[in-house]
Structure 1
Amino acid sequence: MHDIQNNPEHQQKQRQIHQPNAAASRLEVIGSLFSEEAKAILNTKALAFLETLCVNFAGDRQTLLDTRIAKQAEFDSGSLPDFRADTQPIRDDPNWKVDAVPDALLDRRVEITGPIDRKMVINALNSGANVFMCCFEDATSPTWENMVNGQINMRDANAGTIAFTEPKNGKHYQLIGNPATLIHRPRGLHLEEAHILFDGKAMPASLMDFGLYFFHNHQSRKNTGQGVYYYLPKLESMEEAAWWESVFDFTEQYFNADSGTIKATVLLETLPAVFQMEEILYAMRKHIVGMNCGRWDYIFSYIKTLKNHTDRILPDRHAIGMDQPFLEAYSKRLIQTCHRRGALAIGGMSAFIPSKDPEEMDRVTKKVIDDKRREATNGHDGTWVAHPHLVSLAREVFDQYLDGSTNQRHFIPDGTFNREALLRPSRGPKDEQGVRKNIRIAVLYMESWLRGIGCVPIYGMMEDAATAEISRANIWQWLKHNVSLDDGRTFTTEMFREWLDQEVAEIKASSDDPNSRKFDQASDLFFTLSTDNHFADFLTIPCYAKLE
């Protein structure tokens, strides 16, 4: 369609598929096969498929990660993200669209997200939401048992047999009629699984999660008339999208599945990717159905990408809402791009959890309604919530604006959301209160994550790894640039150390059993990640080494 010799689609067509030598396996499971169910998930045929994926795609994945590093070095040296000149023909061509969205994915008005915990999976599927995105990444602490048990839960959920009995009170959980459509979110390209080795090294976690989910569920989903659906996190370029498209094509061929059996929604949650939205849609046009505004990770990516730019320092992250001009531009450009190409545009997360206090619940209700009303009027086709009790509230708002339709792909927002709008600096407070709140939330979250819990209720919000990421990035950037707080004091490492110690002491004092918790370990990691000269790309990578 477009004569770009070096574009990812051309490279994909030139790929030579390699089959592994069955007599000399290059894949080795070193994690415990801790149950008969675990053995069933990691059976010989499933592992053979994982090995085949690694043989064909692990090397290209590393090349993509190396490209990320090189591109970030350019940003660190002073350049700013921009639209690509070599792919302008793709953006300028009005005629191409993504392939048809299957009926099962046309109604995305309310999506609930959550971790792989068995009871929470059942509750999310029964929540009344249109879609449940089960998150193997930011909402899950990637212990080996969590990752394998998550695959067991996905298999049972797709088979309709998933059930759970609470040991403490005997309460029984099982699926009820018309559960939400299940979408699997594998771990991102940057993560590895240390309990399965490929050529003696940790295998790509994305291939493990993707491969096991497809292997164990494609037939049961076909039996119910559905494809296999994924949410893809943290893409940064068209080339990364094309890599996933190649994985999808290969997998469909491997299992003799129809082309388009796999459908994906891309979490548009990195600053580099916002300048390649059309290219990502184009590279994945056979399999992509939409994009989602992963706004918390997007704010983190804005800080990370522009961390050396003194004119792009963000204020306290708690004051950054979707009414900020750079975030409104991000939301509306995503809607414009998706709708012009026939794809869905899903809004962002309301992470609130219900409160028993009537006044607080009134405040939560107002915030959720305002947030969802903004998304619906901008033109989003649906939205995210973190708790089942907010599903009906979010749906009421979208039903009001959709007026009987299941989406609004016909609507394209007015406006030109160019480079300047997408990168516009943000104004807001820089104060001690914000730093202390970042400290408390990040330490509480990281402490839970280190104990194997990745989705944590903190101060009325359901938090995941994006919370800790944006908290430490906020502090790191302020320290690097010697930010002056609103009261005139310069924010220093010594000041941060003092406040961190004070907050951790208070957290311990309010804990029922601080000696059994990992507050000191979480505090040490948070301090290191917030003060190192080198900004760690993702805190989950160094933290992963500390998981038991």
Structure 2
Amino acid sequence: MVKGVQIHSRVAPKAQEVILTDAALTFLATLHRTFEPTRKALLAARADQQRKWDSGAPLDFPPETASIRSEAAWHCAPPGPGLEDRRVEITGPTDRKMVINALNSGAKTFMADFEDSSAPTFANMINGQLNLRDAVRRQIDFESNGKQYKLGEKPAVLIVRPRGWHLDEPRVTVDNTPVSGSIFDFALYFFHNAHELIKRGSGPYFYLPKMEHYKEARLWNDIFLLSQSYLGIPHNTIRATVLIETLPAAFQMEEILFELRNHSSGLNCGRWDYIFSFIKKRRADRGAVLPDRKDVTMTVGFMDAYVRLLIQTCHRRKVAAMGGMSAQIPIKDDPQANEVAMNKVRADKLREVTAGHDGTWIAHPLIEQIARPIFDQHMPGPNQYHNRREEVRVAANDLLNTTVPGQITEAGVRENVATSLAYTAAWIGGNGCIPLNYLMEDAATAEITRVQLWQWVKYGARMETGEAVTAELVDQLVKELAPTVKKLAPGVKEADVGVAVEYLKGQVRKEWASEFLTSDLMPYLAMADGVPSKWQKASL
């Protein structure tokens, strides 16, 4: 019973006893009371800035921080123990079997995800904390259908991704205000595991998602400083890798590293969210309409510029420049199709390592056997910090270059509708990561499908056939494809498909697409968790 703290959902007795302890909740409340006003102000600043871009203000590098970008003398912290070599990082949600398999995958690190690959039901969030606590202590095991899963001798180094700044945690309030999902996820993991991680020769390591401004990185750094003091561990013990997955952040890579420099372990090309953000932030620009998402590859103008700038920035400041996700997963029942898919993975990883990346992301343990040999061959050392890419020159116009070969096709529209419906229905049902057409889809890829459909309808974009993409066309495809969702995503409920249908039909008719589907749909999870209506924030 911590003063001012209320939990608005039932939790298992073990979770209450081990995770939601009075001491942990007191720490959470301290972070909330100290930093929630700043978080709210930063989110309001995002909205203000978007209105300026909508009115024609240019996206550019901030003039007030030019001295940070030009100053060559500053560098970030050295890698934390176990982060010197990150050539292959596996990612995935925090369910028990996934945690064990990922830690045993052979990858150097495992990014345990409370964000885009996890639907934030309270059970998922709390059980994930239990699973990670057990994993840190090497006490995690699991049994399914008579098969035992146990941790191996040399598990991957653990990195945790909390939710983004935009998401509230409605199941927990402090002083009658919902806590930040970011702070909730960070606080519980850090409080329960920081000392144990340090004792075992590692440390509390994090991935920080969806930031749009260097002041949002400053907020994280302030949280790190207070948290380390609170637990009595040395300052600069935490390491954080920032995902550059919003268009505004691409113009502030140096500044973000500078704010976190004593806690930084690099930047990551969060490619799928970056495409989503590119469309969303340029929503008022008719010239920013993109073709089918399969054509928006890492070699097109704005994506290539973003990659080159990220590698140059990281290596200039002596931290890791991490590559992006290969969403392909093995195709077990079709060897020929599997070989085509795996060749795409090989080409993607070869592109990354030869460009200068220090590591890459995978979504399936078997892909480690493809990615690692490529990095082993082309990166004999632990990283490529020495590859300074000093020849790179990236201007603002390069990051905004919308020259993308490709077309909007009927197949592309259909695929976007099907993916949006299937993923949304699965997410509402508590599953944040689903295989579709042999790709591992999470919230980021679902967001691309949603905003592409909105963008095409908004600007009357025409398919290769000459037919315009209209709200009525989307309605027609929704009606046709909704009955197939249960086959695409087994286990989804009919009612959840119905919500997904109405949500997508409503989105393509909005003046501006919603910022995040996860924010829109969180009330459904809160309702299912028994949260009182007062704390269910609906924006549908």
Q: Secondary structure at the match of 2:508?
A: helix
Instruction: Give the alignment of 1:79-228 within 5 angstroms.
Output: 79-166=57-144, 169-228=145-204
Name stretches of at least 5 consecutive residues in structure 2 with no aligned partner: 529-540
Q: Secondary structure at the match of 1:361?
A: helix
TM-score by length of 1: 0.93
Given the alignment, which residue of 281, 304, 307 partners 2:280?
304
Which residue in the other structure is 2:351 paired with?
374
Which residue in the other structure is 2:362 paired with?
385
Distance verdict in 2 for CA 1:508–1:230, change over 3 Å: closer
Q: C-alpha offsets along residues 338-376 of structure 1, whole Å, 9 cap, x if unaligned?
A: 000111100000011111211011111210010001111
Instruction: Work out whether 1:269 is the aligned partner of 2:245.
Output: yes
Letter in 2 for 1:217: N
Alpha-carbon separation, structure 2, partners of 1:248 and 1:132? 21
Name stretches of at least 5 consecutive residues in structure 1 with no aligned partner: 1-21
Greater Cα offset, 510-519 or 130-139: 510-519
Instruction: Give the alignment of 1:378-527 within 5 angstroms.
Output: 378-402=355-379, 404-413=380-389, 414-427=391-404, 428-507=406-485, 518-527=496-505
Moved over 4 A (4+): 508-517
User: Are the aligned partners of 2:204 and 2:238 in contact in 1 as well (CA < 8 Å)?
Assistant: yes
User: Are the aligned partners of 1:33 and 1:39 in contact in 2 as well (CA < 8 Å)?
Assistant: no
Q: How much does 1:95 deviate?
A: 0.6
User: Are the aligned partners of 2:162 and 2:207 in contact in 1 as well (CA < 8 Å)?
Assistant: yes
Q: How much does 1:324 deviate?
A: 0.6
Percent identical residues: 43
Alpha-carbon separation, structure 2, partners of 1:510 and 1:295? 24
Alpha-carbon separation, structure 2, partners of 1:191 and 1:271? 19
Distance verdict in 2 for CA 1:208–1:375, change over 3 Å: same
Q: How much does 1:36 deviate?
A: 2.0
User: Are the aligned partners of 2:169 and 2:181 in contact in 1 as well (CA < 8 Å)?
Assistant: yes
Letter in 1 for 2:190: F
User: Are the aligned partners of 2:328 and 2:342 in contact in 1 as well (CA < 8 Å)?
Assistant: no
Distance verdict in 2 for CA 1:375–1:250, change over 3 Å: same
User: Are the aligned partners of 2:84 and 2:382 in contact in 1 as well (CA < 8 Å)?
Assistant: yes
Alpha-carbon separation, structure 1, partners of 2:94 and 2:206? 14
Q: C-alpha offsets along residues 220-258 of structure 1, whole Å, 9 cap, x if unaligned?
A: 101111110000000111100000000000001111111
Instruction: Work out whether 1:52 is the aligned partner of 2:8.
Output: no
Instruction: Give the alignment of 1:25-64 within 5 angstroms.
Output: 25-64=3-42
Q: How much does 1:516 deviate?
A: 5.1
Distance verdict in 2 for CA 1:323–1:195, change over 3 Å: same
User: Are the aligned partners of 2:161 and 2:207 in contact in 1 as well (CA < 8 Å)?
Assistant: yes
Alpha-carbon separation, structure 2, partners of 1:497 and 1:99? 52
Q: C-alpha offsets along residues 52-90 of structure 1, whole Å, 9 cap, x if unaligned?
A: 000100110000000101111111112231001100010
Distance verdict in 2 for CA 1:507–1:213, change over 3 Å: closer
Letter in 2 for 1:298: Y
Q: C-alpha offsets along residues 275-333 of structure 1, whole Å, 9 cap, x if unaligned?
A: 00000010110101100000000000000000110111111112111011110110110
Q: C-alpha offsets along residues 429-459 of structure 1, whole Å, 9 cap, x if unaligned?
A: 1121111000111111111111101111111
Distance verdict in 2 for CA 1:39–1:534, change over 3 Å: farther
Which residue in the other structure is 2:338 paired with?
361
Alpha-carbon separation, structure 1, partners of 2:493 and 2:280? 34
Q: How much does 1:103 deviate?
A: 3.6
Q: How much does 1:412 deviate?
A: 2.2
Q: How much does 1:35 deviate?
A: 2.4
Which residue in the other structure is 2:228 paired with?
252
Given the alignment, which residue of 233, 239, 246 partners 2:209?
233
Greater Cα offset, 146-155 or 28-37: 28-37
User: Are the aligned partners of 1:529 and 1:539 in contact in 2 as well (CA < 8 Å)?
Assistant: no
Letter in 1 for 2:511: N
User: Are the aligned partners of 2:89 and 2:361 in contact in 1 as well (CA < 8 Å)?
Assistant: yes
Q: How many residues align?
A: 523
Letter in 2 for 1:216: H
User: Are the aligned partners of 2:458 and 2:508 in contact in 1 as well (CA < 8 Å)?
Assistant: no
Q: C-alpha offsets along residues 82-123 of structure 1, whole Å, 9 cap, x if unaligned?
A: 001100010111111112112411100000000011101100
Alpha-carbon separation, structure 2, partners of 1:197 and 1:368? 44
Alpha-carbon separation, structure 2, partners of 1:541 and 1:529? 13
Letter in 2 for 1:33: V
Q: Secondary structure at the match of 1:536?
A: coil
Distance verdict in 2 for CA 1:324–1:510, change over 3 Å: closer
Report the aligned-residue RMSD.
Answer: 1.5
Q: How much does 1:523 deviate?
A: 1.5
Q: C-alpha offsets along residues 3-26 of structure 1, whole Å, 9 cap, x if unaligned?
A: xxxxxxxxxxxxxxxxxxx9x822
Which residue in the other structure is 1:17 paired with?
none
